Chains A and B, each alone.
Chain A
């Protein structure tokens, strides 16, 4: 925010902002004394432009479509990446010396382990 001085003498003038309406942009306002021009408010183009602290959202809620924070041009969009580890079994939960067939721990699998009991040597 900036404003040019009028170059006069005395108390130098000033703007106590008391005559402006509440919550309006300063850009273009021209009250006060001894200024040559109106207030000019420009975007800095540096620093934090958009921010969301996520504090206003309900616990354990999907972010997709939520719209708090500053100054974003749209809502949060959350899509499945379709990448990454999708299934894992470390076998640690199974007892010793047990047939693997039908064991079903681990995550991300659609069924239990299947060991058809094949002898695969030709």
Chain B
């Protein structure tokens, strides 16, 4: 499927988003693979399917090697991917109420680190943290940090938790928070570093020089309003 642009007017302002619909989007970074700690920062929202999303939906955010074989949950090969995966079996929908838009709790255990080489996928959990929540109607922040560390890489997720609220994150919010190490903001939080218990072999499988976002459903769609790459080290 194709990832397409979508123009909306939100709170009186234009917003063009990249809309994932059973698709995988990637792009080479200017810094190549020359980084030690990197953040893939998104401002996003989801459309409202009107029901729970069942059957272990796959939403991944991270880095991949090159752009010809990004993360692909199907039969195709992935050259090399590392990032965050929302590992809930069901994204539980809460209907709109009291001015708060409908929203999905992706999992009660947050994202886990995910790697994929070829058709082989592995993940690692780590310390439990809170529900990750994606909103319809309003936009929220969703950041994934990746730390290359000696014997085991780690992943740190920053996202909206609970309770849900009606706050719509602005572009200014996005830029302000994207460069902070950790933050607490409008029911968003920075969770715990999660060790992947795994050291990607970039020399053998490809150096991580591209960002990659994938979503394996066409309903709901995921609308990415902004994407930034932030290098911390």
Enumerate chain A interface residues (CB-CB to B < 8 A). 82-101, 103, 108-122
Known: A120-B24, A120-B214. A86 touches B5 (CB 8 A): no
8 A Cβ contacts from B203-227 to A: 209-211, 214-217, 224-227
8 A Cβ contacts from B59-88 to A: 67-76
Contact status B214-A99, CB under 8 Å: no
B26 interface contact, C-beta 8 A: yes
Interchain nearest-CB distance for A110 vs B (Å): 4
The 8 A CB mask of B1-25 against A (1 = contact, 0 = none) is: 1111111000000111110001111
Known: A91-B5, A117-B2. A109 touches B58 (CB 8 A): no
Interface residues on chain B, number (Cβ under 8 Å) = 57
Main secondary structure of the interface of A (DSSP, over half): loop
The 8 A CB mask of B39-67 against A (1 = contact, 0 = none) is: 00000000000000000001000000001
Identify B4's interface contact among A86, A90, A99, A109, CB under 8 A. A99
Q: Which residues of B contact A114 (CB under 8 A)?
A: 25-27, 67-68, 70, 210
Interchain nearest-CB distance for A54 vs B (Å): 26
Q: Which residue of A lies closest to B230 (CB)?
A: A85
Known: A84-B230, A99-B4, A108-B229. A113 touches B27 (CB 8 A): yes
Identify A116's interface contact among B15, B31, B70, CB under 8 A. B70
Contact status B25-A88, CB under 8 Å: no
Q: Which residues of B contact A84 (CB under 8 A)?
A: 179, 230-231
Q: Which residues of A contact B16 (CB under 8 A)?
A: 90-94, 96
Identify B23's interface contact among A83, A103, A120, A122, CB under 8 A. A120
B127 interface contact, C-beta 8 A: no
Interchain nearest-CB distance for B225 vs A (Å): 7
Known: A86-B30, A116-B24, A120-B24. A101 touches B58 (CB 8 A): no
Contact status A110-B179, CB under 8 Å: no
Cα(A119)–Cα(B17), bound, Å: 20
Contact status B178-A92, CB under 8 Å: no
Contact status B3-A85, CB under 8 Å: no
Q: Point out which of B32, B70, B210, B231 has the most chain A C-beta atoms below 10 A from its C-beta.
A: B231
Q: Which residues of B contact A113 (CB under 8 A)?
A: 3, 18, 25-27
Cα(A31)–Cα(B27), bound, Å: 76
Q: Which residues of B contact A92 (CB under 8 A)?
A: 14-16
Q: Which residues of A contact B175 (CB under 8 A)?
A: 85
